[in-house]
């Protein structure tokens, strides 16, 4: 006697593991990407001294603090950096 089996039952057994493998591969790729992104951020070039000076300024609105921050700002170096960036940019 012949057994009548639906045609789709043989394929259904293969799709579950295939989808599982695809999901695992995608998760591994995401983790590897995050690892390399973190390494790139960790090895990024440190900021220059002008940027560090600007970031260390006081948040106070007292006149003495504002004057101290203004005196600490190296305006000449900011100007030369701007000129250099204009020279490097393609026209």
Task: Write the pLDDT tens digit of every residue in 6-42.
Answer: 555 555 568 888 999 999 999 999 999 999 998 887 8
Distances 37 to 1, 2, 40, 42 between C-alpha atoms, Å: 62, 59, 5, 9
pLDDT, tens digit (0-9, with 9 covering 90-100), for 32-79: 999 999 888 787 665 566 666 666 777 778 888 888 877 777 666 666
What's the confidence (pLDDT) of residue 31?
A: 96
| Residue 62 DSSP class | -
**The model scores a pTM over 0.95:** no
What's the confidence (pLDDT) of residue 71?
A: 78
């Amino acid at each position: 006697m012949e057994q009548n089996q639906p045609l789709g039952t043989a394929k259904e057994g293969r799709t579950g593991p295939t989808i599982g493998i695809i999901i695992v591969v995608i998760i591994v790729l995401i983790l590897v990407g995050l690892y390399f992104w973190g390494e790139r951020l960790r090895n990024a070039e440190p900021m220059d001294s002008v940027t560090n000076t600007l970031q260390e300024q006081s948040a106070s609105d007292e006149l003495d603090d504002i004057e101290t921050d203004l005196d600490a700002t190296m305006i000449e170096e900011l100007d030369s950096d701007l000129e250099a960036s204009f020279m490097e940019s393609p026209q």
